[in-house]
Structures are given as C-alpha cells and as structure tokens.
Amino acid sequence: MNSKVSVHGLNLFYKGFQALRDINLEILANRVTALIGPSGCGKSTFLRTLNRMNDLYEGVRVQGRVLIDGDDIYRERYDVMALRKKVGMVFQKPNPFPMSIYDNVAYGPRVHGIKNRRRLDEIVETSLRAASLWDEVSDRLHRGATGLSAGQQQRLCIARLLAVEPEVLLMDEPTATLDPIAALKVEELIRVLKHDYTIIMVTRNTRQAARVSDYTAFFLAGELVEHGMTGDMFTMPKDRRTEDYITGRFG
C-alpha cells in the first residue's frame, strides 16, 4: 500500500515552547487514520502541519520534512494555496458561510475560476450527494445555510470541501459538538469517503477511533508514542502508556 503522507523528524515550536517532538509517521492512501491522546498532547497541532495552517500563528517554527505524494510541503516557494486545495480541513464546530446552501458549496469552485452555471449546478449536487446531504436539502438550496441543524451544517462543510476536489481530508474532532445521531451520520460518511480520499482525523473519543479508523496514532506530550492498525492497537498495544490511555486510566 502506498503512503500518501510521510512525516520525518518533525519538530514544531510555538516561540519557546516545543509542541511536537521528532514525529515520524507514514499515512496510507484511502485509509482513515485517527489521532488520539489527551488534550494538549499535540494531535491537533500535528494535523495543522499537514496543510500548513500553523503558518497562520505568530512565532511558529517547523523542523523536519512533511511529504505529500513525495513532495515536501515545507520546501522553499511551495504553493501553499494549492496545498490547501489538495489537503482540506473540517473543524470541530461547523462553520458554514452566511449565505445559501448552494453558494456555500459553489464558493470554492467560483474562487478557482468556475463560472458556468450548469457546471456549478453539477458540482453542488455531486458534492452534496457525496456528503449524504442532497436528499435533505435539494428543495431548499437557496435558503440560508445557518438554518440547518448542526449535523447538517457539518456535512455541508464537508460538501463545501469536496467541491474543490481535494485528495486528503483533515478532520479536527468533526463530531465533538454534535448530538449522537448527527455524529453517527458523520461517522458513516467517513467510512464511505475513505474509498476516494485519505482521511486523517483527531478524536478524543477512543470508541469512535475504534469504530471508524483503519490506523491509529497515539500522541502524548508532543510525542508519537505508538502507531499501527487500529485493531492491533486497541487489543494488543505495544506501549504501556497506550494501554493506560485506551483503558481510561488517564486522559
């Protein structure tokens, strides 16, 4: 199986504080990789290194290499805008734009130069279908997106992301603010999407990681303690700290 993302010797500093320490990780294409660990362990920071969202914070310094399809995204003069099209992100709290459902999904394609209405119609429908939302909203596409339920808003944000044809989906606790039924729909969607995308998701819910991920990486105090197939990690962890976290002794 091919690695989509390869991380070598990654260190990250927020001014004088070291948030990530010598991370080495291979992430396979068309698989779901869950990043688990207690709050403040570095998992969200690591996720943001994969589309250089940490660049937006003052005083951040990165060492090491992050390769996507073999290309180092931290090399000089790398096209960060193209990176964020290829590697999109879904946040913990749904953040639809204050515009219609249709315009939310069409926003990215329009930014990238698509103006033809028929083509935009196709993209909007295809993206909403891929996000398992079309049947729920097809009769109100031109109504405000903020009128949707929280779960629908999160799936709309996923549809908005899919509309620009990414290859990697980063999800930072995508169900943390949702009710159990809405969270289940997002989990089911993740299982479907992995056939077409590489998905890397942060979750503090170890049961969710066990349900939806193929691989799991356990972070603690900025270090990658253990990484492997989810079934193996949850039944036969190699490190005692992993076992203690999974079984609820801390975290």
pLDDT tens-digit map of 103-123: 999 999 999 999 999 999 999
Whether pLDDT at 1 is above 80: no
Contacts of 208 (CB under 8 A, 6+ apart): 34, 175, 183, 187
Half-sphere exposure of 210 (CA within 13 A, CB side): 10
Q: Does residue 222 form part of some domain?
A: yes
CATH number at residue 192: 3.40.50.300
User: What's the structural domain count of the chain?
Assistant: 1
**What is the pLDDT of the chain when averaged over all its residues?**
96
Q: Does residue 77 form part of some domain?
A: yes
The predicted structure's pLDDT at residue 48:
97
Q: What is the pTM of this model?
A: 0.95
Whether pLDDT at 251 is above 80: no
Q: Does residue 251 form part of some domain?
A: no
Structural domain of 137: 3-246
Q: Does residue 86 form part of some domain?
A: yes
Q: Which pairing describes strands 168-172 and 198-202: parallel, antiparallel, or unpaired? A: parallel
Q: Does residue 142 form part of some domain?
A: yes
Q: What is the DSSP string of 127-196?
A: HHHHTT-HHHHTT-TTSBGGGS-HHHHHHHHHHHHHTT--SEEEEESTTTTS-HHHHHHHHHHHHHHTTT
